[in-house]
Chains A and B, each alone.
Chain A
């Protein structure tokens, strides 16, 4: 009720000591389509749900390569996210130019956080309405950070943001202790499963999600649809053969080798032309 009196601009405190504009910005993040990230000791995987405005349009790009060793997934106002990724790319390029070495992820997220903080303390600006999951590799290992519109940042083992992310978070909370020692492929499978949790009933297809990986000896890149579809097929088949259990992944590991051959053919033909406007 009293919120409406103190929420006109970002430079007004509420009597309870809150900045409502900043909190509204965090709300914008919760409205965006889901993005998840998880890391092991050597790899970080980012995933996001591709939401298109209508059947006629293409979906918005939510995962950006920042440098060979850093990538970012966003949720919220994608326009703000694009601008921030451009800033991050420039910072990485300038750092490499000056120091001939890759920008440590920890430094980048601090710069990003400071940039976000500025927008919470100027009356002529507004906070960025986007949450960023920054995945990166540096000398101290693999890292996953979450940058808020408030200017805070946190490091995570695994996290999910955006709409219906709570389902993914629950799934990740159950399994995160195993992630540190996971292999790269298991990490990707877990990412896709986490995304499936956010879809809540919708069929999981490679056109609906985007997965990107960065790791030791593996520069940041987005996995192509074919690869993602193959992985999806391996555990869809495994899930049908068991009881429709909540954790098909245990069996997936064993069945993956045998199923992948046959599943790939089936998956490829049924999903041809699933997303005509996919860029």
Chain B
């Protein structure tokens, strides 16, 4: 889960979900699938509808069949399964770029491709790096360092990249 917003709420939310995940593993003897966690996150956020977690989230992971999925949220739990998303500061710069690269030209003519981004892993990582480097240029809050988490059948891997320090 990648989150943007108020750090204390982000941390609290992460810890809450981690504890719930542990309970799930004890009860079901397996890891939660991404769609299951997606619903849990939504419920957790809406539970505090009248004193929200100030956290804008994007959830990524593998479903029960091993396929990748991405879910995007607002602060009170409204969520949608998408092929790509961005939240937080700089998202106004990043989202149009991702739309340009990944959104299918017309949903009427072709089957819409943006439900599953047709990228190879290396291409996707490259796109993420490009997108953040570009956002760092113009958004004053985006910069310093980028952490990329790659989730695939082999497990979870992290990559880091430096961004503009100003």
The chain A residues found within 8 Å of chain B, CB to CB, are 65, 86, 89-90, 93-94, 96-97
A164 CB, nearest partner CB in chain B, Å: 30
B7 CB, nearest partner CB in chain A, Å: 16
Alpha-carbon distance A97/B22, docked complex (angstroms): 11
Alpha-carbon distance A93/B25, docked complex (angstroms): 12
14 A–B contacts from the bound complex (CB under 8 Å): A65-B26, A86-B26, A89-B22, A89-B23, A89-B26, A90-B23, A93-B19, A93-B22, A93-B23, A94-B19, A96-B19, A97-B15, A97-B16, A97-B19
A65 CB, nearest partner CB in chain B, Å: 7
Q: Which residues of A contact B23 (CB under 8 A)?
A: 89-90, 93
The chain B residues found within 8 Å of chain A, CB to CB, are 15-16, 19, 22-23, 26
Q: Per DSSP, are chain A's interface residues mostly helix, strand or loop, or mixed?
A: helix
Residue of B nearest to A85 (CB): B26
Alpha-carbon distance A94/B18, docked complex (angstroms): 11
Alpha-carbon distance A152/B15, docked complex (angstroms): 34
Excluding A89-B23, A93-B23, 12 further A-B contacts by CB distance (< 8 Å) are A65-B26, A86-B26, A89-B22, A89-B26, A90-B23, A93-B19, A93-B22, A94-B19, A96-B19, A97-B15, A97-B16, A97-B19
Alpha-carbon distance A90/B15, docked complex (angstroms): 14
Q: Which residues of B contact A94 (CB under 8 A)?
A: 19
Residue of B nearest to A94 (CB): B19
Q: Which residues of B contact A86 (CB under 8 A)?
A: 26
Shortest beta-carbon contacts, A-B, top 8: A93-B19, A89-B26, A97-B19, A93-B22, A97-B15, A93-B23, A65-B26, A89-B23
A108 CB, nearest partner CB in chain B, Å: 15
Alpha-carbon distance A90/B20, docked complex (angstroms): 10
B17 CB, nearest partner CB in chain A, Å: 11
Q: Which residues of A contact B22 (CB under 8 A)?
A: 89, 93
Q: Which residues of B contact A90 (CB under 8 A)?
A: 23
Residue of B nearest to A66 (CB): B26
Q: Which residues of A contact B15 (CB under 8 A)?
A: 97
Alpha-carbon distance A89/B26, docked complex (angstroms): 8
Alpha-carbon distance A94/B23, docked complex (angstroms): 11
Q: Which residues of A contact B26 (CB under 8 A)?
A: 65, 86, 89
Residue of B nearest to A92 (CB): B22
Residue of A nearest to B26 (CB): A89
B160 CB, nearest partner CB in chain A, Å: 23
B57 CB, nearest partner CB in chain A, Å: 19
A92 CB, nearest partner CB in chain B, Å: 9
Q: Which residues of B contact A89 (CB under 8 A)?
A: 22-23, 26
A91 CB, nearest partner CB in chain B, Å: 12
B88 CB, nearest partner CB in chain A, Å: 25
Alpha-carbon distance A197/B15, docked complex (angstroms): 45
Q: Which residues of B contact A97 (CB under 8 A)?
A: 15-16, 19
Alpha-carbon distance A86/B26, docked complex (angstroms): 9
A74 CB, nearest partner CB in chain B, Å: 15
Q: Which residues of B contact A96 (CB under 8 A)?
A: 19
Alpha-carbon distance A240/B16, docked complex (angstroms): 55
B31 CB, nearest partner CB in chain A, Å: 14
Alpha-carbon distance A234/B84, docked complex (angstroms): 54
Alpha-carbon distance A32/B22, docked complex (angstroms): 29
Residue of A nearest to B25 (CB): A65
Residue of B nearest to A89 (CB): B26
